[in-house]
A and B are shown apart, each in its own frame.
Chain A
Amino acid sequence: MSGKTLYDKIWDAHVVDTQDDGTCLLYIDRHLVHEVTSPQAFEGLRMAGRKVRSPEKTIAVPDHNVPTTPDRVKGIENEESRIQVEALDRNARDFGINYYPVNDIRQGIVHIVGPEQGWTLPGMTVVCGDSHTATHGAFGALAHGIGTSEVEHVLATQTLIQKKSKNMKVEITGRLRPGVTAKDITLSVIGATGTAGGTGYVIEYMGEAIRDLSMEGRMTVCNMAIEGGARAGLIAPDEKTFEYVMGRPHAPKGAQWEAALAWWKTLKSDDDARWDKVVTLKGEDIAPVVTWGTSPEDVLPITGAVPSPEDFKGGKVEAARRSLDYMGLKPGMKLTDIRIDTVFIGSCTNGRIEDLRAAAAILKGKHIAPGIRAMVVPGSGLVRAQAEEEGLAQIFIDAGFEWRLAGCSMCLAMNPDQLSPGERCAATSNRNFEGRQGRGGRTHLMSPAMAAAAAVTGHLTDVREMMAETV
């Protein structure tokens, strides 16, 4: 018999019941909730007269709709957004779940708050009505997004009806070159596999380049597993993981910590584990990348040129034509010649302290190009406070960036932070879909360092050139 993968091990530890056809009832250790995908679920509970089964394992925070301007203490102007946030306030209170309201310094993007507060721990099952729940996989937790009906199901039963996915290994061998980051890894993997390449799988990321990443970097990699179509992304926990978790408010303490640690250390794939699919990339081959189109698979090294629809096959030809038209780009144009209007640094992909450090390192002593609008939206109130303490906030402000409060902001533009039609943005978020950042808005995805470099020059830029300058 072959060994088990990390996914197999976590799965096996959470099966409550198995039906004849393989459908399982899976126990859920942590349920994260935000204001957009939960109101109908709570309404469903009320209508059926049901309770939240485990309020102590349920954590809610408003993030998608909240304004990120300093005046938000005065309340949310947009009526629908206000109603949604108020509904979450009320639901959290009525059902007795853990809650970080808008004006709590611990408020932030749900996928940043969970790990920061120690709710996310190795070996757990974590779900949220949000596709980027994959982020928590960086801790060796089985974490994935669910729909609102499933949110209601988890609230009522603390379980989820699931069928097991297949195992996929994504190995990044060797070391990254200077200027290349976790974001470039995760985008390059999607570029290689396509946005449906991971459909039906749970990915485990391994290899030296993954081990070398910080916890922040690992979260960036797992965050975008969903953009590759996978249900979840995982990274086996190691000393870095344990160090990150230790001492967090909801992490185990004392004897419980020791017991937890002993189990966590067993959480890795066996050497003889069986994989249904394997993808290997060489760390040295990965360059700083950007997206040119309207799908996260439309990835190219920054040294490249805009492709032509004829470079593709099948349905992608038409999709590429539509993308180029939407993005206002001509085939053959150098990527570094693409001028931008706006820079957005933030989101659950790249709104953590390390991301702000990486961007600030490029911006130090520089100023954004004339006419550029640039904003930094820290992923949580605590990230914001730390960045202020480290002097990063001042670097951003001196460079001409707006220094915002925590939230999802221009990642999906449900709050007032939006692109106008035709406006072109260098963004550190995870989706470049049509209209994602505002109707008609044009998004190029990239790492925080690359976004900072673009802010300085006013066009897409190879950050490595700017690094050479600073040396």
Chain B
Amino acid sequence: MDKFTTLTGIAAPMPLVNIDTDMIIPKQFLKTIKRSGLGKNLFDEMRFTQDGREIPDFVLNQPAWRNAEIIVAGDNFGCGSSREHAPWALLDFGIRCVISTSFADIFYNNCFKNGILPIVLPAEVVAVLMDDARKGANARMTVDLESQTVTTSDGQSFAFDVDPFRKHCLLNGLDDIGLTLEKGSAIDTFEKVAAQSRPWV
């Protein structure tokens, strides 16, 4: 997994609430057995007509946001299906950070496993960032994970919260499985005790 330290990039405004994982990556693209290559189908049904032409109104099709690396979104981003294809598609497109007032639980978890930083901020702050994002390619937002701040193109800075363990893993690009395997003996002990207390499992 790639490290996440600081990111300065273009932010795309997506004020719609309840953007679900079916919108982020429709199911016809879940038939892959790979993690890569999903970026071209990110937001497919919002981005392209049925015959594959770009829908000009869609934010990521507009010249100002084609190279966005951040999304500022409406409430409850990533709800619905647990598909990790959603963060894979975002990442493959080049999105490393999503900012919203709230995220669905599984999507939020999945982001951290893939080097994407989801940031939760109060509605007033998201509104300011949304306005900044509307400025497009002339405005670059800066996200600094170490200091836990988002800074707008005109220098307004906002602090955000992030779980210390997840921050540590993201800053260092650590693989969860490797970390857990180091605790192998604790798992062995747990299993021995459980075999006595709940032998039917």
Interface residues, chain A, with chain B CB atoms under 8 Å away: 13, 16-17, 19, 21, 23, 25, 27, 29, 36-37, 39-40, 43, 48, 50, 53, 57, 64-65, 78, 80-81, 83-84, 87, 121, 123-124, 129-131, 144-150, 152-153, 156-159, 161, 163, 195-196, 199-200, 229-231, 252, 256-257, 259-260, 263, 295, 314-316, 318-319, 322, 412-414, 421, 431, 433-436, 439-440
Q: Is B76 an interface residue (CB 8 A)?
A: yes
Contact residues in A for B113 (Cβ distance below 8 Å): 147, 149-150
Partner pick for A17 among B76, B177, B183, CB 8 A cutoff: B183
Q: With A39-B33, A130-B82 in contact, do A433 and B104 touch (Cβ < 8 Å)?
A: no
0/1 string, B15-34, CB within 8 A of A gives 1: 11110101100111011111
Q: With A149-B113, A200-B105, A316-B17 in contact, do A40 and B33 touch (Cβ < 8 Å)?
A: yes
A431–B180 contact, CB under 8 A?
Answer: no
B76–A149 contact, CB under 8 A?
Answer: no
B22–A433 contact, CB under 8 A?
Answer: yes
Contact residues in A for B16 (Cβ distance below 8 Å): 315, 318-319, 322
Q: Is B53 an interface residue (CB 8 A)?
A: no
A195–B79 contact, CB under 8 A?
Answer: yes
A319–B18 contact, CB under 8 A?
Answer: yes
Nearest chain B residue, comparing its CB with the CB of A230: B105
Determine how close the nearest CB of chain B comes to the CB of A395; give it in whole angstroms: 31
Contact residues in A for B106 (Cβ distance below 8 Å): 131, 144-147
Determine how close the nearest CB of chain A comes to the CB of B187; give it in whole angstroms: 6
**Residues 29-62 of B at the A interface (beta carbon under 8 Å):** 30-35, 45, 50
| Residue picked from B16, B45, B109, B183, most chain A C-beta under 10 Å | B109
Contact residues in A for B50 (Cβ distance below 8 Å): 421, 439-440
**Docked pose: A231 CA to B104 CA in angstroms:** 9
Interface size bucket, B side? Answer: 35 or more
Contact residues in A for B105 (Cβ distance below 8 Å): 199-200, 229-231
| Residue picked from A129, A196, A440, most chain B C-beta under 10 Å | A196
Contact residues in B for A146 (Cβ distance below 8 Å): 82, 106, 109
Q: Is B83 an interface residue (CB 8 A)?
A: yes
Q: Is B159 an interface residue (CB 8 A)?
A: no
**Residues 173-201 of B at the A interface (beta carbon under 8 Å):** 176-177, 180-181, 183-184, 186-187, 190-191, 194, 198-201
Contact residues in B for A322 (Cβ distance below 8 Å): 16
Nearest chain A residue, comparing its CB with the CB of B184: A157
Determine how close the nearest CB of chain B comes to the CB of A196; give it in whole angstroms: 4
B199–A157 contact, CB under 8 A?
Answer: no
B75–A153 contact, CB under 8 A?
Answer: no
Additional pairs, 7, CB under 8 Å, beyond known A153-B180, A256-B200, A314-B75: A16-B190, A25-B187, A149-B110, A229-B76, A252-B200, A295-B20, A319-B16
Q: Is B114 an interface residue (CB 8 A)?
A: yes
Contact residues in A for B102 (Cβ distance below 8 Å): 196, 199
Q: With A130-B82, A231-B105 in contact, do A19 and B165 touch (Cβ < 8 Å)?
A: yes
**Docked pose: A259 CA to B75 CA in angstroms:** 46
Q: Which 7 A-B residue pairings sit nearest by Cβ, starting from the closest?
A: A252-B200, A80-B31, A39-B33, A149-B113, A147-B110, A315-B17, A147-B84
Contact residues in B for A148 (Cβ distance below 8 Å): 35, 84, 110
A439–B45 contact, CB under 8 A?
Answer: yes
**Docked pose: A87 CA to B33 CA in angstroms:** 8
A37–B183 contact, CB under 8 A?
Answer: no
Partner pick for A195 among B18, B28, B194, B200, CB 8 A cutoff: B18
B190–A27 contact, CB under 8 A?
Answer: yes
Q: With A121-B200, A421-B50 in contact, do A229 and B84 touch (Cβ < 8 Å)?
A: no
A131–B31 contact, CB under 8 A?
Answer: no
Nearest chain B residue, comparing its CB with the CB of A158: B187
Contact residues in A for B184 (Cβ distance below 8 Å): 157
B27–A25 contact, CB under 8 A?
Answer: no
Partner pick for B33 among A16, A57, A83, CB 8 A cutoff: A83
Q: Is B154 an interface residue (CB 8 A)?
A: no
Contact residues in A for B124 (Cβ distance below 8 Å): none
Contact residues in B for A229 (Cβ distance below 8 Å): 76, 79, 104-105
Determine how close the nearest CB of chain B comes to the CB of A136; give it in whole angstroms: 14
Determine how close the nearest CB of chain A comes to the CB of B83; give it in whole angstroms: 7
A48–B200 contact, CB under 8 A?
Answer: no
Contact residues in B for A64 (Cβ distance below 8 Å): 30
A147–B82 contact, CB under 8 A?
Answer: yes
Contact residues in A for B94 (Cβ distance below 8 Å): none
**Residues 91-112 of B at the A interface (beta carbon under 8 Å):** 102-106, 109-110
B180–A257 contact, CB under 8 A?
Answer: no
B180–A157 contact, CB under 8 A?
Answer: yes
Determine how close the nearest CB of chain B comes to the CB of A311; give it in whole angstroms: 15
| Residue picked from A16, A147, A230, most chain B C-beta under 10 Å | A147
Q: With A40-B34, A257-B200, A318-B16 in contact, do A196 and B22 touch (Cβ < 8 Å)?
A: no
| Residue picked from A53, A123, A199, A257, most chain B C-beta under 10 Å | A199
Partner pick for A23 among B18, B79, B165, CB 8 A cutoff: B165
A25–B15 contact, CB under 8 A?
Answer: no
**Docked pose: A319 CA to B79 CA in angstroms:** 14
**Docked pose: A257 CA to B16 CA in angstroms:** 51
**Docked pose: A13 CA to B190 CA in angstroms:** 10
Partner pick for B20 among A50, A158, A230, A433, CB 8 A cutoff: A433
Determine how close the nearest CB of chain B comes to the CB of A163; give it in whole angstroms: 7
